[in-house]
Amino acid sequence: MTHLTPMSFVETDLDAMAAATGRIAVIVSPDGTLDQPARRANRLAKGAVARLVESDKFSKAKSGQVITLAWPAGMAAEALDILVLDKKADAVALRKAGVALAKVRGTSALTLWTGSRKGAEVIAQGMALRDYRFDDHKSAEADAPEAITIQCKDATAIEAAAAPLLAVAEGAHFTRDLVNEPANVLTTTEFAARLKEMESLGLDVEILEEDVLAELGMRTLLSVGQGSDSPSKVVVMQWRGGAAEDAPLALIGKGVVFDTGGISLKPAGGMEDMTMDMGGAGVVAGAMRALALRKAPANVVGLVGLVENMPSGNATRPGDVVTSMKGDTVEIINTDAEGRLVLADVLWYAQERFEPAAMIDLATLTGAIIIGLGHENAGVFSNNDTFCGDFLAAAAAEGEGAWRMPLGQAYDDQLKSRIADMKNVGGRPGGSITAAQFLQRFVKDDTPWIHLDIAGVASVKSDTAYAPKGATGWGVLALNRLVADQFESD
């Protein structure tokens, strides 16, 4: 859940090792060099660490891996975890090392001795990212995870360096909670309420209700939610940490709390996965939370379109024509291509109201992106090479997979309609690209824009680099890094 496991940073005290309960972890380089805490662990455990280093198992171990010595002699701990870690490990490798430790520890107390290694705060972030469980709907009381202690050099400085990193981890946990939540719990109303609660963090949160959306002319967005009993909403979250005159970065999220496909009903098999179809909105919410928690000196506005796509007597029919807020008309030939209808109006509204310096939308938009890129990379589409390069660099620095895809006139031509300005589907070939082309029709030429198709990465059925199976929180780290690198005033 959103609450991070308690983590404390204390100044190295090797004499505390013998009596430490729970698990203890020390670091050994792949070349077999033991640092000071590892030497102490070795001495207490009567040479067990040195014997491990001599073993075949160790020679095959890779940097980032954890090898456990269970019930070690000479210490009170239930396990001695040896973290094999290269001295030159970069931030991604340090974070993944933290993930590996958290995975091994489960819920047991853990004390990690980092000695004089740099980057303890990044290992801590990795542990926090992985240390996540979604057990709200389990009736049996789960074991509460015990505390994590990091024994390090300059503990006060490390704790200060860790604070913004742990804020980002908390943002990712918030995203995962939203994405994992079933649709009968996370209705549009409940979603908006959870965002409204973030006002306590200093965000300004506005909820635009259906009458206001109708007044604004957001008919493509409203057409998606009109078959549902849950009211459609747009939520605007503003973080003003930068200079008053700086135009904001706008983050826009698809928040379809459940996607049945509407009248173009999806097949039953796997339809339950469509509870994650608000993943884009979830990432926007998590990123805004992270920025507020770490008090980022930047102006960022998050806008999410919250709707439910249901069939009913009042639902949109295939063939219906609706007018967007921009004024362009859309022939809805498939009601299951609904995400783009939601985003079209929110993108337009964001530009009209905020004149953003740049704009990024996130959406679980197409099944086709999963066919193309699997679960390893989000699809990245952009009208601006510099901005796109900045984002790809941020994603790479944080270890979140992102791969650029093309745009082009020939793809746009696939959206021609006989009776309206465009249709909402361009056929099967290049399905993710024609979806992006649809969105681009609602982006002004001078607005640097990125569209992230996160259908393959928002929720995954196996463990990922930073998360246990289920919602991943993909994107919170990359967006936070992009803001830190490109949009902060000091």
Is residue 254 part of the annotated active site? The answer reads no
Q: What's the maximum distance between 2 C-alpha atoms anywhere in the chain? A: 82
Residue with tokens 């640092």, as numbered in its chain:
35
Q: Segment 267-326, which members bind Zn ion (CB under 5 A)?
A: 277
Which parts of 176-215 interact with Zn ion (CB under 5 A)?
none
CA 218/CA 233 separation, integer angstroms: 11
Q: How far apart are CA 274 and CA 290, in angstroms?
A: 26
Judged by CB under 5 A, the chain residues 238 through 277 that form the site for Zn ion are 256, 259, 277
Instruction: In angstroms, give the least distance from the CB of 386 to ligand BES.
Output: 29
List binders of ligand BES among 233-272 (CB under 6 A).
259
- CA 177, chain centre distance (Å): 11
Site for ligand BES in 318-377 (CB under 6 A): 334, 336-339, 364-368
130: helix, strand or coil: helix
Phi, psi at 381, each rounded to 5°: -125, 140
Pick 112 or 341: Cβ nearer Mn ion: 341
* Nearer Cβ to ligand BES (66/276): 276
CA angle (55 as vertex; 54, 60 as ends), nearest 5: 115
Q: What is the dihedral of CA 81, 82, 84, 90, to 10 degrees?
A: 50
- Residues between 386 and 445 with contacts to Zn ion, criterion CB under 5 A: none
Least Å from the CB of residue 428 to ligand BES:
8
Q: Which phi and psi angles does 25 have, rounded to 5°? A: -130, 140
Query: Which of 35, 259, 398, 400 touches Mn ion (CB under 5 A)?
Result: 259
CA atoms of 320 and 315, how far apart (whole Å): 10
Q: For ligand BES, give the closer residue by CB, 28 or 363.
A: 363
Select from ligand BES, Zn ion, Mn ion, none the partner in contact with residue 83, using the beta carbon and a kind-dependent cut-off of 5 to 8 Å: none
CB of 261 to Mn ion, least distance (A): 5
DSSP label of 330: E
| HSE (side-chain half, CA atoms, 13 Å) at 142 | 15
- Which of positions 337-366 make contact with Mn ion (CB under 5 A)? 338
Residues paired with residue 205 on neighbouring β-strands, in sequence order: 237
Q: Based on CB atoms, which residue is closest to ligand BES, 347 or 425?
A: 425
Closest CB to ligand BES among residues 126, 426? 426
Tell me the site size for ligand BES, rule CB under 6 A: 15
Residue 37: closest CA among 70, 72, 82, 68:
82
Could you give the CA distance from residue 183 to residue 307 in angstroms, rounded to a whole number?
A: 11
Q: Closest separation between CB of residue 479 and ligand BES, Å?
A: 20
Residue 63 binds: one of Zn ion, ligand BES, Mn ion, none (C-beta under 5 to 8 A by kind): none
Report the alpha-carbon distance of residue 20 to residue 113 in Å, rounded: 11
- 460-469 long-range contacts (CB < 8 A, ≥24 apart) are 460/375, 463/103, 464/375, 465/96, 465/99, 465/399, 466/95, 466/96, 466/99, 466/126, 466/129, 466/130, 466/172, 466/399, 467/129, 467/130, 467/132, 467/172, 467/176, 468/130, 468/132, 468/133
Single residue of 37, 64, 119, 339 touching Zn ion by CB under 5 A: 339
> In the complex, what is the shortest distance from the CB of residue 224 to ligand BES, in angstroms, rounded to a whole number?
9
Catalytic residue selected from 117, 130, 326, 340:
340
CB 220 within 8 A of CB 341: yes
425 scored as a contact of ligand BES (CB under 6 A): yes
Distance in Å, CB of 194 to Zn ion, minimum: 20
Given 103, 266, 404, 444, the catalytic residue: 266
Strands 110-115 and 204-208: unpaired
By CB under 5 A, the count of residues binding Zn ion is 4
With respect to Zn ion, which residue has the nearer C-beta, 277 or 331? 277
Residue 455 as a binder of ligand BES (CB under 6 A): the answer is yes
Q: Closest separation between CB of residue 158 and Zn ion, Å?
A: 42
Closest residue to Zn ion, Cβ-based?
A: 259
Q: How far is the CB of 266 from Mn ion (least distance, A)?
A: 7
Q: Hey, what are 441's tokens?
A: 């029709």
Contacting residue, 121, 131, 331, 336, with Mn ion by CB under 5 A? 336
Rank residues 241 and 431 by Cβ distance to ligand BES and give the closer one. 431
Locate 54 and state its tokens. 């001599």
Site size toward Mn ion (CB under 5 A) is 3
Told to check if 308 binds Mn ion by CB under 5 A, we report no
b/e 203-222 (16+ beta carbons within 10 angstroms → b): bebebbebeebeebbbbbbb
441 among known catalytic residues: no
**What are phi and psi for residue 19, nearest 5 degrees?**
-95, -5
The residue (of 5 and 459) whose beta carbon lies closer to Mn ion is: 459
Which residues are designated catalytic? 266, 340
* Residues in contact with ligand BES by the rule CB under 6 A: 259, 277, 334, 336-339, 364-368, 425, 431, 455
* Residues in contact with Zn ion by the rule CB under 5 A: 256, 259, 277, 339
* Residues in contact with Mn ion by the rule CB under 5 A: 259, 336, 338
